[in-house]
Amino acid sequence: MRYEYTITQEGREAEIMKAMGWKKLVKSLLLKYEKFSGWCTYINKHGHVQVKGFKNGKIVHERKRNKKSNKSSSGSGE
């Protein structure tokens, strides 16, 4: 298998699952635990740690919000 994923359920100990990719892990994880609540941690091909959250069998998407700057965005170019 290409990647090792650390699966942590709320209130349980972590376990390691192996899969060839993220989508295949999600599929096998939800077959094993239908209403999975917890998070998955892995290191991607660029060497960065990735953490993905689940709640009741659905992936929790964090919204990325732009920081507001003090500059006005009138677009006049002045």
Tell me what the mean pLDDT of segment 51-71 comes to. Answer: 79
Model-level pTM greater than 0.95?
Answer: no
Phi, psi of 42 (to 5 degrees): -155, 170
Give the pLDDT confidence score for residue 69 in this predicted structure: 59
Give the pLDDT confidence score for residue 21 in this predicted structure: 92
Domains of the chain by residue range: 3-60
| Buried/exposed code over 36-51 (b: 16+ C-beta within 10 A; e: otherwise) | bebbbebeeeeeeeee
Q: Percentage of the chain surpassing pLDDT 90?
A: 65
In terms of Cα–Cα distance, which of 22, 19, 59, 21 is closest to 37?
59
